[in-house]
């Protein structure tokens, strides 16, 4: 009698546990958020520039220089050029539009020049930081661009 | 078996304690007593330099002997200098310390940077010199009271690898890899110094003659300097004119101007000699006497595609262009070659 009651109690407990088990687990369907492709389209101007660590902004005029990227045609234009990775207009490409690590410039009629692509957000707007040596290899320049429009 | 293990463990503890004590107390005062160095040499020749070192130890321990050598960057010292040591504790080779090795008491930088931070450019006026760091191939064991003397022997092959005749103050330092550049005041054992390191700057300029390049004078203040010291026409270069070096015709001018003639790769010459904003060197402060112009040589000289600027000769002039200052305040122009070595 006593035993029978215990078994019955265990059966109820088992059923209740199973009920909880089946209702507790829900498969949540998380919609994957696609990483946006990095669109460089626009005109970019130099806001910081260093040569071997020396700040060039007070001593060299970068105000006229800008790069215009057009993602639709894959081309870039240099306006009032300064010493840079490339010296003529041409095509550009990112190694991966979603997760780019490299930016490649190919001047018209020239060889592709690749550089590490650094694309941080500063004060809510994107910046491009490029490191390169247009002259002697031991002279390193770091330009920080921000979109001007 | 058990007994043997017990003895081993005991020895291990003793050894550990000894090592810890050695690290804490590892101290040898050190000094460079002299440097045998020629006053002059020819570019591309082999130069032998001997550095005499004395050590006085106030505790026992083990340490690598560290040696640093300041030379112009263009000499490729790491490749061209072969260094050995002889000492009363044995002889051996000095080997390059990897740039990944962090120096002790250096706030986490490697030896060459530690030397640069501590000793700077050793009085050289152009920031194009570098420290190269070496250590003894084996650690040297010393006892309390040891007086160790030795020499560091440098065989510098192909000196002046960049081909430039040079005036430079060579500098040397010695240290050990336990103490770094530290010292204490316990100079109670008649040691030569209270420093665990010592620096020796040869105040007499070492003169390198011959070579195909332009004279690089690290020793004497120059009327004009170009930064970066080694650059091409596609660099952004800063020309500095220092009117304080000597009394020139341009004293007190609010601004001075560049009057330059460039030689292009196709043999043509381009002269830029107008007194305009493009050629104006502005004074850094109103009375500093130091004037600067930062320019892009390709643009200044109008180099077209396929053409490069090889070299330039230049004068510094006043606003009228009538008063000119040339090399060494003479009537011959300053010269600069655009090259990377």
Nearest chain A residue (CA) to B231: A136
Nearest chain B residue (CA) to A88: B305
Name the token pair of A145: 């661009």
Say which DSSP state B220 is in: S
- Chain B contacts of A137, Cβ < 8 Å? 340
User: Distance (Å) from the C-alpha of residue A53 to the closest C-alpha of chain B?
Assistant: 11
Domains of chain B (ranges; CATH) run 27-209 (2.60.40), 221-337 (2.60.40)
Nearest chain A residue (CA) to B74: A138
User: Distance (Å) from the C-alpha of residue B47 to the closest C-alpha of chain A?
Assistant: 27
Give the per-residue pLDDT at B17: 54
ipTM of the complex: 0.76
Residues in CB range of B13: below 8 A, 6 or more apart = none
CB contact under 8 A, B233 and A135: yes
Other Cβ atoms within 10 Å of B250 Cβ, number: 21
Among B227, B235, B305, select the one facing A136 at the smallest CB separation: B235
Name the token pair of B332: 């011959």
* φ and ψ at residue A13, rounded to 5 degrees: -60, -40
| Rounded Cα gap, residues A115 and A104, in angstroms | 6
CB contact under 8 A, B296 and A139: no
Name the token pair of B174: 């010695």
* Predicted confidence (pLDDT) per residue in B123-176, tens digit: 898 888 999 999 999 998 988 888 889 999 999 999 999 899 999 999 998 888
Tell which residue, B323, B239, B319, has the closest CA to residue B275.
B319
At residue B333 the predicted structure's pLDDT band, cuts being 50, 70 and 90, is very high
Domains of chain A (ranges; CATH) run 42-147 (2.40.128.540)
* Predicted confidence (pLDDT) per residue in B1-38, tens digit: 444 545 556 666 665 554 544 444 457 788 888 899 99
Burial class (CB in 10 A: 0-12, 13-18, 19+), A53: exposed
Name the token pair of B325: 């200052």
Among B228, B292, B305, select the one facing A139 at the smallest CB separation: B228
At residue B182 the predicted structure's pLDDT band, cuts being 50, 70 and 90, is confident
Among B228, B232, B340, select the one facing A52 at the smallest CB separation: B228
* Predicted confidence (pLDDT) per residue in B238-259, tens digit: 999 999 888 888 888 888 999 9
Q: Lowest-pLDDT range, A24-38, A108-122, B53-67, B300-314?
A: A24-38
Question: Is residue B192 over pLDDT 70?
Answer: no
Question: Is residue A25 over pLDDT 80?
Answer: no
| Rounded Cα gap, residues B83 and B81, in angstroms | 6
A19: left (phi over 0), alpha (psi -120 to 50) or beta: alpha
Give the per-residue pLDDT at B312: 95
Global pTM reads 0.72
Nearest chain A residue (CA) to B234: A135
| Rounded Cα gap, residues B93 and A134, in angstroms | 40
């Amino acid at each position: 009698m006593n035993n029978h009651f215990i078994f019955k109690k265990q059966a109820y407990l088992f059923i209740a546990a199973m009920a909880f088990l089946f209702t507790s687990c829900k498969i949540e369907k998380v919609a994957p958020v696609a990483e946006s492709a990095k669109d460089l389209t626009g005109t970019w101007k130099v806001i910081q520039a260093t040569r071997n660590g020396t700040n060039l902004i007070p001593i060299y005029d970068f105000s006229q220089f800008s790069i215009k990227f057009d993602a639709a045609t894959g081309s870039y234009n240099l306006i009032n050029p300064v010493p840079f990775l490339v010296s003529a207009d041409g095509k550009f490409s990112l190694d991966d539009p979603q997760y780019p690590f490299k930016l490649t410039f190919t001047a018209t009629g020239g060889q592709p020049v690749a550089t590490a692509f650094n694309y941080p957000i500063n004060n809510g707007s994107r910046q491009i930081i490029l490191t390169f040596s247009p002259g002697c290899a031991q002279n390193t320049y770091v330009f920080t661009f921000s979109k001007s429009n | 078996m058990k007994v043997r293990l017990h003895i081993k463990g005991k020895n291990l503890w003793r050894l550990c304690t000894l090592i810890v004590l050695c690290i804490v107390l590892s101290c040898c005062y050190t000094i460079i007593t002299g440097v045998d160095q020629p006053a002059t040499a020819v570019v591309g020749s082999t130069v032998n330099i001997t550095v005499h070192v004395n050590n006085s130890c106030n505790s026992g321990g083990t340490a690598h002997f560290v040696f640093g050598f300041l030379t112009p960057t263009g000499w490729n010292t790491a490749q061209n200098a072969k260094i050995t040591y002889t000492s009363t504790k044995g002889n051996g080779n000095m080997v390059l310390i990897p740039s990944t090795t962090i120096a002790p008491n250096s706030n986490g930088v490697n030896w060459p940077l530690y030397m640069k931070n501590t000793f700077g450019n050793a009085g050289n006026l152009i920031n194009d010199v570098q420290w190269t760091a070496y250590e003894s191939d084996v650690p040297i064991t010393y006892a309390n009271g040891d007086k160790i003397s030795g020499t560091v022997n440098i065989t510098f092959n192909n000196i002046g690898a960049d081909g430039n005749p040079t005036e430079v103050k060579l500098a040397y330092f010695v240290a050990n890899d336990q103490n770094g550049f530290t010292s204490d005041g316990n100079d109670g054992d008649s040691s030569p110094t209270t420093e665990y390191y010592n620096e020796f700057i040869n105040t007499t300029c070492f003169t390198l003659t011959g070579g195909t390049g332009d004279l690089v004078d690290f020793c004497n203040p120059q009327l004009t300097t170009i930064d970066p010291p080694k650059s091409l026409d596609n660099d952004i270069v800063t020309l500095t004119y220092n009117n304080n070096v000597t009394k020139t015709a341009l004293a007190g001018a609010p601004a001075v101007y560049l009057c330059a003639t460039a030689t292009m790769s196709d043999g043509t010459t381009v002269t830029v000699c107008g007194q305009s904003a493009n050629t104006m060197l502005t004074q850094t402060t109103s009375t500093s006497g130091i004037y600067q112009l930062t320019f892009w040589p390709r643009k200044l000289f109008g180099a077209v595609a396929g053409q490069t600027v090889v070299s330039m000769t230049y004068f510094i002039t006043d606003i009228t262009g009538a008063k000119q200052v040339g090399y060494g305040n003479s009537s011959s122009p300053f010269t600069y070659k655009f090259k990377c070595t």
